[in-house]
A and B are shown apart, each in its own frame.
Chain A
Amino acid sequence: MAQVWDVLSRRREGEPWEVVGSINAPDLDLAMLLARETHFRHGEGATYALRLRGDDATHECPDPAGIGGVIGKEYRRQAGYVGVGAKLRRVHELMAERGLVIDRPRPPGHRPRETAGA
């Protein structure tokens, strides 16, 4: 039967363990795999460990180097979308050229963005 395993993470090398959640799994091997996929799929943390709920022993991930995957999946991360700000500026310019910018009263701090030609 599946048991409850608490998942602990070390965000960076040398930092203390921190509980980040829990998972269900019938044994340690599957618990390691599920914890990696559920909590560290995007490379969150330097390493992780598991503790069977109600038990004191912690079991550290044996191969933390592979956390987050080893092939390019940048679309899973913020880094995969760098350049969105520049695209937004280009769209503002395009809208201004077409006369499509809607300028109505806005909350403070939300003035219309200036375009390069403005």
Chain B
Amino acid sequence: MSYEERVGEFKARIDAGEKVEAGEWMPDEYRQALLKFIEMHANSEVMGCLPEREWIPRAPTLQRKLSLTAKVQDEAGHAQILYRVAEDLGKSREHMWEDLVNGRTKFHNVFHYPTESWGDVAVIGWLIDGAALVTQKALLDCSYMPYVRAMRRICPEESVHLRHGEEITLELVSGTPEQREMFQDAVNRWWRPIMHFFGPPSKPDKDVLLYWGIKTRSNEDLRQEFFSTYVPKLWDIGISVPDPDLAWNEGKGEWDWGDPGWDEFWEVVRGNGPRTKDRLARRKAIWDHHAWVREVVTGAARPAA
């Protein structure tokens, strides 16, 4: 059987809804697209620890410190699970790490921004994790089974994070005028990065991830679900959304939304976000500082018998 015939057979399996396991034969195009996608997801989980980690010492109560610490621990755990899945696709963890800290691979745009107030912690926990959960739930039907298993592990934890964020949000919006303004200010600053999080509108028939069943829903479809889930909730708590064009279009059965501008998005993608360089430097410093832990865990530090 020629390579093309094997690819055709593989694609037919994907289209029929079959799942692919680690170690099975797969086309190079599939492996590369899958690895790039999962590696970016893993990078995003580990980089996503940093913006919230900055707020652990400044969390207002012991309970908030505990819950925020647990959330950061969960995100680090998600990265561990995802890097392991990616390793089975043929790239070592060390190589992935080198590529991340040297800016050769990407992580999600929202983790390139500063967290300026406790209101940002609420927005990250509720709206950004909400956006992530919308996209991650769609991955539960991915064609690659080890990734599906990872998402089955990750999605329930993200749902807990959502509750954590929602609880902080409700506390702020029902608190003093200053607390309420803090949350509204955070929504105003984060709205554009959240729109960017879903990516620019794209043509589903040109999306290689949709072609291979790695993703099962388009950027726009996911963004629309986010609007339907969260915009009415924001309105119900009296928080406005900084997009004057955002409106439910009953005729079309979908949301109209304003173009947020994509220049900033592409700058962030190129590694020029407001906090990209110092977050990567911080991540590299942590990697170097904890080398001894890796040596113990991998057995490299074990004395010869």
| A positions within 8 Å CB-CB of B | 1-2, 4, 19-27, 30, 34, 37-39, 41-42, 44, 73, 75-78, 80-81, 84, 87-88, 90-92, 94-95, 98, 100-107, 110, 112-113
Complex CA distance for A4 and B84, rounded to whole angstroms: 9
- Chain A residue numbers with a CB within 8 Å of B159 are 78
Complex CA distance for A87 and B163, rounded to whole angstroms: 12
User: Chain B 231-266 against A: per-residue CB contact (8 Å), 1 yes, 0 no?
Assistant: 010011110100000011010010100000000000
Q: Assess the B84–A78 pair: CB atoms within 8 A.
A: no
A46 CB to nearest B CB, Å: 16
Interface SS, A side: mixed
Q: Assess the B81–A38 pair: CB atoms within 8 A.
A: yes
Interface residues on B, range: 35 or more
Interface SS, B side: helix
- Chain B residue numbers with a CB within 8 Å of A95 are 173, 236-238
Complex CA distance for A105 and B175, rounded to whole angstroms: 28
Q: Assess the A102–B170 pair: CB atoms within 8 A.
A: no
- Chain A residue numbers with a CB within 8 Å of B250 are 105
B249 CB to nearest A CB, Å: 8
- Chain B residue numbers with a CB within 8 Å of A4 are 84, 87-88
- Chain B residue numbers with a CB within 8 Å of A84 are 163, 166-167, 170
Q: Assess the A91–B170 pair: CB atoms within 8 A.
A: yes
Complex CA distance for A30 and B146, rounded to whole angstroms: 22
Say which residue of B70, B238, B240 sits within 8 Å of A73 (CB atoms). Answer: B70
Q: Assess the A105–B80 pair: CB atoms within 8 A.
A: no
Say which residue of A20, A34, A42 sits within 8 Å of B149 (CB atoms). Answer: A20
Assuming the contacts A41-B77, A91-B174, asked whether A77 and B160 have C-beta atoms less than 8 A apart, the reply is yes
- Chain A residue numbers with a CB within 8 Å of B73 are 41
Query: What 9 pairs across the A-B complex have the smallest Cβ distances?
Result: A26-B299, A100-B238, A81-B163, A102-B235, A75-B67, A95-B238, A110-B232, A2-B298, A105-B248
Q: Which residue of B lies closest to A103 (CB)?
A: B235
Q: Assess the A21–B160 pair: CB atoms within 8 A.
A: no
Q: Which residue of B lies closest to A98 (CB)?
A: B238
| B positions within 8 Å CB-CB of A | 63, 66-67, 70, 73-74, 77, 80-81, 84-85, 87-88, 93, 146, 149-150, 152-153, 156-157, 159-160, 163-164, 166-167, 170-171, 173-174, 228, 232, 235-238, 240, 247-248, 250, 253, 255, 297-300, 302
Assuming the contacts A2-B298, A41-B77, asked whether A101 and B149 have C-beta atoms less than 8 A apart, the reply is no
Most chain A CB atoms below 10 A, which of B70, B150, B159, B253 = B70
Complex CA distance for A98 and B232, rounded to whole angstroms: 18
Complex CA distance for A41 and B75, rounded to whole angstroms: 13
Complex CA distance for A95 and B232, rounded to whole angstroms: 14
Complex CA distance for A27 and B173, rounded to whole angstroms: 50
Complex CA distance for A33 and B236, rounded to whole angstroms: 45
B177 CB to nearest A CB, Å: 10
- Chain B residue numbers with a CB within 8 Å of A101 are 235-236, 238
Say which residue of A19, A27, A80, A104 sits within 8 Å of B299 (CB atoms). Answer: A27
Q: Assess the A75–B236 pair: CB atoms within 8 A.
A: no
